[in-house]
Chain A
Amino acid sequence: MDRTRLFNWLVFAAAMAAICGWLAWGKPFKITGLFLTSGLAVGSLYALGGIGMVVLYRATGVLNLASGAAGAAGAMIAWQLETWGLWPPLGWLACILVALAITLAYGRFLAPRLAWRDTVVKAVATLGYALIILGLVAFIWIDDPRALKLPTDAVGIQVMGLRVTATRLIVLAAAIAIVVGIHAFLGRTRVGLQMRALANDRDLSALVGIPILKVETIAWGIAGVIAGFTGLMFADLIRLEPVVITFMVIPSVAAAIAGRLESLALVLIGGLSMGVIESMLTLSPMLKGARPIAPFVIAAVVLLWYQRGTRLTFGGKD
């Protein structure tokens, strides 16, 4: 890692920690700890969504805005199967499989038809797909109070008087593990190498014989599994409402942008800090109204920081 990148990482992490410290200043740990725990779980979900997005974007050039909708459909299936009395793990598996199927269906049948269109067109197409899925989900399951519970909610540890459930620990650990796993996958496997080649130069990769369709399908598959897992965790930790899960993709985009659609580690730091700051802003009577825009302010500041010293061009590759 070069020194500039390391410096950027450190500045980013330090700035986020400083903001959290400022918001928590003078408040008892029992209170700030509650907000920190809550924010870390939400931030992990933002990060997971952003990681799936970046992996797919790097391999295929598609910014997938339908991952939330795929997760929402999966979560509703999981709830439905559990309501019908099926063994809950089957429902959790079905959640991931449904999100995988929805994502793969787009990646295999629709995305290739848009392969040569602009990035923006590809992204908007996935948004259309998301709205179609959301419409179907809303048609099948009309608005009704629902909740999805995992057995890990009942298990927890006490950290300085705070109860942290196993579900929250799992989602945080999963976000970190997925970043590490994908990093290793990209660095140490042949398919990972091919994905990196696609990310560097798609046209050249095709010329040298990289099986683009196969590599892209694998990338869509990874994104689908992450979307399913994120949807399941979101339904448990936040709430089981298809619209809310679908549009979780918006702060996830902010997390992905914080990583410049490149660095998974920065997406993780960005997502976690967005969740924590968004949560801890509640402690400030003056700033708590700004909570919903916090992820985007952070993403904008990060972009400006990285942008320093370069000139903006329209659609060019600086």
Chain B
Amino acid sequence: MNHRTALAALTAFAGMTLAGAAFAADPVCGAATGEAATGEPIIVGGIYGNAAPGDWTSSTDAAAAYFKCVNANGGIHGRPIDYRVENDQWNPENAAQAAAKLVSDTDSVAMVGNGSFIEMAVNAGTYKDEGIMVMASACAISECFESSNIVSTNQGPLPSNLGAAMYAREELGATNIACIGLNIPNNGIWSCQAVIDYMEANGGTGSMALLNPGAPDVNSALLEAVSSGADTILINQPAGLALAILKAAEEQDLRDAFNWIAPTPLYDLSVPDQLGEYWYGHVYVNAELAPLQVNGPDAQNWVAVMEAYGNADDPRDTFGQAGYLSARFFVDAMLGMDPADVGDRAKVADAIRGIKGMTSDLMCGPYYVGDADFHMPNHAGYMVKIVEGGFEIVRECYEYDSAYFEPMLAIEKELGLN
């Protein structure tokens, strides 16, 4: 965050705090007793990644704020949550050490709010072996969604890509989508291939242009996509790289030659200003959680929790929403348990697997976990368009239609959720 943005955020936060004191309801958390929890702490872990190339602290920051609020409101049957977080610094060795510290060497009952590009790939086996459930919030790789002990509130690139592709096919007339992804098998290739499969299943076609994250030149990936014969370009990239690709496209004046779509990473409030007027009204972005303007009761509660218990500089973004949701669903599951069992990892894992039908206006569908080797409860979202000063919703909550989701839909049917 730059200084100006930080200043604006602080000013806005101060304003919101004053306004909150005058008008907004107090945050509602956990048992909402209004009394601080004083019993034996329950240890909960969380791993985030913060180093170049990105700061993914939003989800654990939001979970920490919610847990503070819960502790001030009766805790879990009178016991406070001792939330311990570690930074994997995008380093596999650090990620393994963080899991060993929080899971193997500590009597933690669950992991909540995890946000990382790599830790899920490194630690999925550890979580399974240790019998601990991870309620993650910022996942971007296949292992996060195709593991028995990890479930995330965010969608990750695959569903978000499919949501964007589906909108482009249905509303923009897309028949051939070129997906510019990162050259990482469990991220870019995994999520771009799903788009190609989706298009081919619907009478269209697709291709992928892969970008090495370390390569400075993004133009070649764009040019590869341009030369593929596509009518739609899906920029499946972190926001910084997506900006660079769109800038290169602007330079060649390619705006009107293609439809431009993107998954959630481009839903970032600083993106419209950075892109500039040229792109307003021409870039469509899938939002995997409710855009900020939806502002339902739970969205307002998230803001109230962050105001009262978060830090002023904690980001109010999609991963922050996801961290809040994971923490809230976890606490709701814990409050439904026998008080004698809330310190027992195995019983907590069972309680988490038993979650079904929890709802929030931040998510389009119900949240559930279930007992399976894969978990992807969030596969519906919004579509927004980049306009001057922000994003305009162009499609409200919609379910993504792809064969990839058939196993999830089968479980949901079994659980009576659809």
Type the 1/0 row for B266-287, where 1 means its CB is closer than 8 Å to any CB of A: 0010110011100000000000
Query: Given the complex of chains A and B, what is the CA–CA distance between A15 and B400 in angstroms?
Result: 51
Query: Given the complex of chains A and B, what is the CA–CA distance between A9 and B70 in angstroms?
Result: 72
Query: Given the complex of chains A and B, what is the CA–CA distance between A39 and B248 in angstroms?
Result: 13
> Is B293 in the interface zone, CB < 8 Å from A?
no
> Is A143 in the interface zone, CB < 8 Å from B?
yes
Which residues of chain A are within 8 angstroms of B226 by Cβ–Cβ distance? 34
Query: Given the complex of chains A and B, what is the CA–CA distance between A136 and B30 in angstroms?
Result: 40
> Is B186 in the interface zone, CB < 8 Å from A?
no
Which residues of chain A are within 8 angstroms of B55 by Cβ–Cβ distance? 142-143
Which residues of chain A are within 8 angstroms of B274 by Cβ–Cβ distance? 145-147
Q: Are A80 and B52 in contact (CB under 8 A)?
A: no
Q: Are B224 and A282 in contact (CB under 8 A)?
A: yes
How many A-B residue pairs lie within 8 Å, measured between CB atoms? 111
Of all chain B residues, the one with the shortest Cβ separation from A241 is B240
Type the 1/0 row for B226-267, where 1 means its CB is closer than 8 Å to any CB of A: 110000000000011111100110111100000000000000
Q: Are A238 and B268 in contact (CB under 8 A)?
A: no
A282-B2 contact given A143-B52, A143-B54, A163-B252, CB 8 Å threshold: no
Q: Are A238 and B216 in contact (CB under 8 A)?
A: yes
Q: Which residues A201-260 have CB closer than 8 A to chain B?
A: 234, 238-244, 247-248, 251
Q: Are B247 and A291 in contact (CB under 8 A)?
A: no
Which residues of chain B are within 8 angstroms of A162 by Cβ–Cβ distance? 252
> Is B5 in the interface zone, CB < 8 Å from A?
yes
Q: Are B217 and A238 in contact (CB under 8 A)?
A: yes
Task: Assign chain A's interface to a size class.
Answer: 35 or more
> Is A279 in the interface zone, CB < 8 Å from B?
yes
Type the 1/0 row for A24-65, where 1 means its CB is closer than 8 Å to any CB of B: 000000010011001100100000000000000000000000
Q: Are B2 and A291 in contact (CB under 8 A)?
A: no
Query: Given the complex of chains A and B, what is the CA–CA distance between A31 and B229 in angstroms?
Result: 11
Which residues of chain B are within 8 angstroms of A149 by Cβ–Cβ distance? 247, 276
Q: Which of A38, A153, A247 has the most CB of B within 10 A?
A: A38
A279-B52 contact given A31-B227, A84-B4, CB 8 Å threshold: no
Q: Are A138 and B52 in contact (CB under 8 A)?
A: yes
Q: What count of chain B residues pass the 8 Å CB interface test?
A: 41
Query: Given the complex of chains A and B, what is the CA–CA distance between A173 and B132 in angstroms?
Result: 60
Query: Given the complex of chains A and B, what is the CA–CA distance between A241 and B268 in angstroms?
Result: 17
Q: Are B220 and A282 in contact (CB under 8 A)?
A: yes
> Is A83 in the interface zone, CB < 8 Å from B?
yes
Shortest Cβ distance from residue A166 to the other chain B in the assembled complex, whole angstroms: 11
> Is B11 in the interface zone, CB < 8 Å from A?
no
> Is B106 in the interface zone, CB < 8 Å from A?
no
Q: Are A243 and B276 in contact (CB under 8 A)?
A: no
A146-B240 contact given A34-B252, A244-B216, A279-B220, CB 8 Å threshold: yes
> Is B215 in the interface zone, CB < 8 Å from A?
yes
Of all chain B residues, the one with the shortest Cβ separation from A83 is B4
Query: Given the complex of chains A and B, what is the CA–CA distance between A65 and B277 in angstroms?
Result: 38
Q: Which of B5, B212, B227, B276 has the most CB of A within 10 A?
A: B227
Which residues of chain A are within 8 angstroms of B212 by Cβ–Cβ distance? 291-292
Query: Given the complex of chains A and B, what is the CA–CA distance between A79 and B217 in angstroms?
Result: 20
Of all chain A residues, the one with the shortest Cβ separation from B5 is A144
Of all chain B residues, the one with the shortest Cβ separation from A145 is B239
Q: Can you show 18 pairs from A to B with CB atoms below 8 A apart?
A: A35-B223, A38-B223, A38-B248, A39-B217, A83-B2, A84-B4, A143-B54, A145-B240, A145-B271, A146-B243, A147-B247, A147-B274, A153-B247, A165-B251, A234-B216, A238-B217, A243-B52, A279-B220
Nearest 9 pairs between A and B by C-beta? A239-B244, A145-B239, A38-B219, A282-B220, A243-B52, A147-B274, A31-B227, A42-B217, A34-B223
Q: Which residues of B contact A (CB under 8 A)?
A: 1-5, 52-55, 183, 212, 214-221, 223-224, 226-227, 239-244, 247-248, 250-253, 268, 270-271, 274-276
Q: Which residues of A contact B (CB under 8 A)?
A: 31, 34-35, 38-39, 42, 79-80, 83-84, 138, 141-147, 149, 153, 156, 162-163, 165, 234, 238-244, 247-248, 251, 275, 278-279, 282, 288-289, 291-292
